[in-house]
Each structure stands twice: as C-alpha cells, then as structure tokens.
Structure 1
Amino acid sequence: MITEKAPGKLYIAGEYAVLEQDCPAILVALDQYVKVSITPSKGDTGLIHSKQYSQDSIHWVRRGSKMVIDNRDNPFEYILSAISFTERYCLEQKVKMGVYDLHVNSDLDSADGKKYGLGSSAAVTVATVKAILHFYGVKASKDLIYKLSTISHYSVQGNGSAGDIAASVYGGWIAYQTFDKVWLKEQLASKSLSDVVGEAWPGLKIQTLLPPKGMELLIGWSQQPASTSRLVDKTNANKQVLKTEYMKFLEDSRKCVLKMIKGFEEGKIDLIKHQISVNRRLLQHFAAMNNIAIEIPRLTELIEIANKFGGAAKTSGAGNGDCGIVITDENTDVDRLRKEWLKNKILPLAFHIHQSELTY
C-alpha cells in the first residue's frame, strides 16, 4: 500500500486580492492532513472510498427554470479530476495504466463533519496527485505536483488563486502570487499536458518565509462553515461595476502584504502585527463595497478579544465563517485570550505549522 498526504492551509493575509496577478498573499500549511492510500485492485474494477465523504451533501442552484448541481463542494469531483489529469500526464510519459483502489481519510473537518475551512478540496487534490504519481513510479518535483494539482482543481472550481494548492504542496509559511489564468487556458487547449507543466507559468511566484523568533500563530474557529467558491463568484460579478474601487483595493492589499513579507524577512513581529490590522480594515471595506459578509459577528468577537489581549487578528480566507487567525508575541496573554474565546463559543484549534518534507 502507498499512502501520501497533503496538509490543510490557512490564509494569513491578501485574501480576495490574490485572485489577481501581481497581488501577493501569505499562507501557512498546518499539521492537519488529507491522506490518500492506493493499492492495486484485486479484480477488473477499482474503488474510490472516503471515510468522511460518503454521506456528503450536494449543493444546487437555480438557473432560470433549470436545477443545476454545484459540484465544487463535492470532494469526489476533485479526486476524479486529479486522477484524470495525473493519469493523462503518466500516459504521456508512456506509463502503462493499472487498476487500483483509493482510500481517502481527512483530518480537515471536525469530528461531527463540520469544515474548519482548511482547504480540504485543495489538500485532497494534492494528496491524490501524489498518490497516483507514486503508484506509477513517476518521479515528481514539488513544481510538478503543484501544477498538476492546480490544473485538476481549477477544472472543477473554475475560480480561485490556487494559493491553497501551493500551501499544501510546499508547506510551512509561504508568500504566493497567482499565475495568468488566460495563458494557462490557452496552453492547455493547444499543447500536451507534459509541455504545459514543464513551462514557467507567467506571474506565478512561490516564496518560502521564515517566521520571526517569538512569533506564534493562534487559530480560532467560529464553528460556522463558509463556502469560498460562492463568495468568490459574488465578488467576481461586481469587478467591472466597482472597477476604480476594486483597483484601489488591489493596490492597497499589495502594499500591505509586501510590507508584511518584509516583516518576515527582517524578523519584525510588530510590522507583521500592524499589517494584519491594516489587512483586516481593507477586507472590511472590500466586504462593504461588495455587500458580502466576510467578518460575521462571531469572527468580529474573535478578533476583538484577541486584540484586547495583545494579539493582532483578522479573518482567514473568504470569511463569512470558518477561522480567524491571531499573530501573537511575548506581549500576548494567550491563556486569557483562549479562555475568553471559549466563553464566547469560539474554539481555539491546537494545530501546528506543517513543515514540508522531501519529495520521494
């Protein structure tokens, strides 16, 4: 049996702006994983099984009079896409196809099946790509795993930056800028998959960051799940209407995250903490102009409690639920902060940073 795993992630800063080129974000990979095990099948038929996803609900939307299933929240769509693209790549490498059983197990949801918002669709895609490549004995670099996973994920989701894919592949703290999506679409339509993954992708930047000594990450869970893809759909629809305001948001977010990256490079926790607060205000303004709820009351409470005890806090990811993050240092009263969270039905999550291991 071959088992591969991929960690979940949290966004630290740069959400929404990261969907555009030249707008960096900071993410971190966590020690909560999706594990994919693969074994040769005993017969002519293969099996895909998941402990978590067997009873998964499916969302649908109304388009005119038509009922349309939204498969972007269905993890099996990502698994099937990852298998399809990875096998296509293997076939181009003249690898003989086999039949196998795939077993998926995830830490990225709570015990009762609620999502923490750790990027489970990205992690399951990455773990599946890694498992298939390993099964077929195809040597893989992190770059190859990232690109195959991104193509697989994007073909299902249709939006997003693939920052969560990068965090799952490269691990630790990273600064990330997305690629030119129009370019990728054109390349995939005209070239082999092997050629596309072998090319440099315009705009893509992935940089490993080293956190300053004494800086810690604290995570609080609102216990209210959110849907990233639907929030992104809504903001995408407003881009042209709010063009001037949107461009200003992008520029302000870019400046904020670049200063935060400088804080990592120069070991300045105060600079990082200050820019966390700046990014929170930018996201609040972005939410107001798009008429969406990023910072729901439970997350506002989470942030205000963290700030009261010397942390610097904001929402993580698309918001509207899921997690908030806090940057802490020696001046943060973490014990009192956690106790106050619990009193207000905010759950501190005892997760740690995942450090990337060597690729096989």
Structure 2
Amino acid sequence: MNQIDSSIRASAPGTLMLLGEHAVLHGARALVLAVDKRIRVELTALDQPQLEIESALGQYSAPIDQRPWDATFSFILTAFEHCYSAFAETGKACSAGLRLRVESDFSHLVGLGSSAAVTVATLAVLNRWFGQSPDNDQLFEQARTVMLQVQGRGSGADLAAAIEGGMVAYHQSGKRQKLATLPPVGLYYCGYKLKTPLVLERVAGAAEQLPHLYHQLYQLMAECAEQACVAAGESDWSLLGRLMNYYQGLMDALGVNDAKLSQMIYQLREDPEVQGAKISGSGLGDCVISLGQPRSVALPDRIPVEVAPEGVCFD
C-alpha cells in the first residue's frame, strides 16, 4: 500500500453508443465511442481510517471498515468494496484511510456514460493504492462486476470504450476490437432522459406480448450492427451512415423513439454534411448522434464532443 502522503490520479473518458443499442444485450456486436469529456478521480491518503468521497453530487464520510450505503455514490462504493475485499483476503490490514475526489467535464444528467467513466477511473486508482496492476482485460471484468452489482444488467459496452478509448466494436462476452477513428460526430441533447434500466423494462414488457416479432427484430438489429462494425473497420463512412439510419428505424420499431427525437433526427439528415443520424443510447430521451457535423442545420443543446483515442490513464 502507498504511503500516507501519497496521491494517485486517474481519468476515464465519457462514452457514446454509435450503434448496437439493445441488440448488444442479445448477442450482437455494438459500436461504442470514447469522447473527449473525462471524469477524473484523485485518491489522497488520510492519516485516519476513514473513507471520504467528494464530488459535485455531494460528500460522504465513514469509517473505512464500516461503510453505510449511499445510493448517490453506488458505483464508487461498490468499486471500493470490490478492491477492499480482495485486499482483505490477502490477510493484510488496512489501517490508513483515503479520500476520493471526483471531477467531471460533463453533467451526470447527460448520457455520456458517467457511471462507466467514474467506475473505471475509481478502480484504476484503488487498484494502484492496494498494490494491484490489472491489465485491461482484468480491469474490464472488475468494472463489469461492479456495474452488474449496482444495476443488475447492462452490456458493458461503455466500460469497454472507457478503458480502451477510440471506437470499439464490442460483444458482451467481453471481446473488444479497437477500430479506426471516425469522422467528426455531432451530439445533441433532447432535454430529458429516462434511465436505461427503466427503458429496458419497458422493452422487455413489450417483447413478452409479441415474442416472435421481437425475436425477428433483434435479429435484424444484430445483422445491421454486424455490417456497421465491418463498415467502420473498413472506414466506409457512407455505408456506416446508411446503416445508422436503418438502425434508427429498428429502434423506432422497438418502441424507444418519440416525436422529439424523430424531429431532431430528420432535421439533421437534411444537412448534406450528415451521413447518418440516430438515437445514441437506450432511447426515450437523452441524445441524438450524427455522423458528420451539420453546417446548415442548427439544433439547440449541442454537446461539443470529439472521439478521444485514449482510454483510462493515470494523470
């Protein structure tokens, strides 16, 4: 373990789903991007056995071996529990305390994978604090364990991009393929967001009523996503844009589109610089993403982002 006066800093990028939402949970590949908006976690040693957390969401303080649950910091506390338990199994005592200070380039209300970024960055500093040096595969498995413990479900695609950076073709088995960088993308927030677990519940309920049709729908989504991964790997941006538009139609059929999102998407497609536009994420709110940045169409609530080649790193 580090000395009392030590400080460790790591950061991880926010993420965006380009294509493959929902279908990735049914065995399809997905395309996910790391963006240049990061979450930074700084670990500072304390001379008292306390765990302290500071962020824009609030503060937390408790004895390091008696940690009451606080849903505000669910991902951080679960990440700490994971690393602390593994350290305790070695038979060593943890007599020092630590403070985790979180800073973010973006609001947690906007769907840029804040939970994934803070989980990955927190695990990075904690692993180093407890004397561990996991590789990217091990870090991914740790982060996915934390994610599933907190929210019960999720593909892990945003975790993969937060760790690897750039554009990643991802399968929920954990297989990740880093691809060439994209042309510029546009990102626009619709003004509201329904949490992903609630969207998944609605989709699951609809699928129970029409299981055969939804099975076929997921097959179409998987085929589209696979072609998109191939197109992205070959830097065929024109084809990728067409596949984004096609996938958006399938998202509509899935029941996760609405009038506001549709209006934004069709406005973007009118711009000659835009090769494709669709929902980014689980849907029923949040963001719309375009392949190419529009010049003649101006939508409000634009979030300036670029694809970031670097994933999690120590600062």
Q: Is the 8 A contact 1:90 1:138 kept in 2?
A: no
1:159-238 matches, within 5 Å, as 159-179=153-173, 204-211=174-181, 215-238=183-206
Q: Matches of 1:243 and 1:77 in 2, distance apart? A: 34
Is 1:127 aligned to residue 94 of structure 2?
no
Q: Secondary structure at the match of 2:302?
A: strand
Query: What is the CA-CA distance between 1:358 and the residue it aligns to?
Result: 7.7
Q: Secondary structure at the match of 1:279?
A: helix
Q: Secondary structure at the match of 1:260?
A: helix
Partner AA of 1:347 in structure 2: D
- Which of 95, 101, 104 is matched with 1:103 structurally? 101
Is 1:302 aligned to residue 264 of structure 2?
yes
Q: Is the 8 A contact 1:140 1:359 kept in 2?
A: no
Q: Secondary structure at the match of 1:267?
A: coil
Q: Matches of 1:10 and 1:206 in 2, distance apart? A: 15
Is 1:349 aligned to residue 294 of structure 2?
no
* Deviation string, structure 1 residues 295-325 (Cα, Å, up to 9, x no partner): 2333222211110012110010011221110
* Deviation string, structure 1 residues 84-137 (Cα, Å, up to 9, x no partner): 11222334456653421111122230xxxx611111111111111111012223
Q: Matches of 2:288 and 2:92 in 1, distance apart? A: 44
Q: Matches of 1:93 and 1:309 in 2, distance apart? A: 59
Is 1:245 aligned to residue 213 of structure 2?
yes
Query: What is the CA-CA distance between 1:355 and the residue it aligns to?
Result: 1.3
Q: Is the 8 A contact 2:11 2:39 kept in 1?
A: yes
- Which of 22, 26, 48 is matched with 1:43 structurally? 48
* Deviation string, structure 1 residues 138-184 (Cα, Å, up to 9, x no partner): 112111111101101110100111111111111110111113xxxxx
Q: Is the 8 A contact 1:276 1:314 kept in 2?
A: yes
Aligned-residue RMSD, C-alpha? 2.2
Q: Which residue of 1 aligns with 2:280?
A: 316
Query: What is the CA-CA distance between 1:14 and the residue it aligns to?
Result: 1.0
The runs of at least 4 aligned residues of structure 1 exceeding 6 Å deviation read none
1:85-104 matches, within 5 Å, as 85-92=82-89, 96-97=93-94, 98-104=96-102
Is 1:30 aligned to residue 12 of structure 2?
no
Q: Given the superposition, is the C-alpha separation of residues 37 and 95 from structure 1 closer, same or farther in structure 2, using an over 3 Å criterion?
A: farther
1:44-59 matches, within 5 Å, as 44-50=49-55, 52-54=56-58
Q: Which residue of 1 aligns with 2:65?
A: none
Is 1:84 aligned to residue 81 of structure 2?
yes
Q: Is the 8 A contact 1:17 1:249 kept in 2?
A: no
- Which of 251, 259, 262 is matched with 2:227 structurally? 259
Task: Using structure 2 for the length normalisation, give the TM-score.
Answer: 0.87
Q: Is the 8 A contact 1:35 1:106 kept in 2?
A: yes
Query: What is the CA-CA distance between 1:245 and the residue it aligns to?
Result: 1.3
Partner AA of 2:11 in structure 1: K
Q: Secondary structure at the match of 2:209?
A: coil
* Deviation string, structure 1 residues 14-57 (Cα, Å, up to 9, x no partner): 1111112x21111101111121111111223231121x2129xx
Structure with the larger RCO, 1 or 2 (CA within 8 Å, 6+ apart): 2
Instruction: Report the number of matched residues.
Output: 297
Q: Matches of 2:120 and 2:313 in 1, distance apart? A: 13
Q: Is the 8 A contact 1:90 1:133 kept in 2?
A: no
Q: Given the superposition, is the C-alpha separation of residues 358 and 235 from structure 1 closer, same or farther in structure 2, using an over 3 Å criterion?
A: closer
Partner AA of 1:227 in structure 2: K
Q: Matches of 1:347 and 1:262 in 2, distance apart? A: 31
Q: Which residue of 1 aligns with 2:142?
A: 148
Partner AA of 2:35 in structure 1: L
Q: Is the 8 A contact 1:309 1:336 kept in 2?
A: yes
Q: Matches of 2:185 and 2:86 in 1, distance apart? A: 38
Q: Secondary structure at the match of 1:336?
A: coil
Q: Is the 8 A contact 1:160 1:232 kept in 2?
A: no
Structure 2 residue runs of 5 or longer lacking an equivalent are 1-6, 60-68
Is 1:6 aligned to residue 12 of structure 2?
yes
Q: Matches of 2:225 and 2:248 in 1, distance apart? A: 12
Q: Secondary structure at the match of 2:49?
A: coil
Query: What is the CA-CA distance between 1:232 and the residue it aligns to?
Result: 1.1
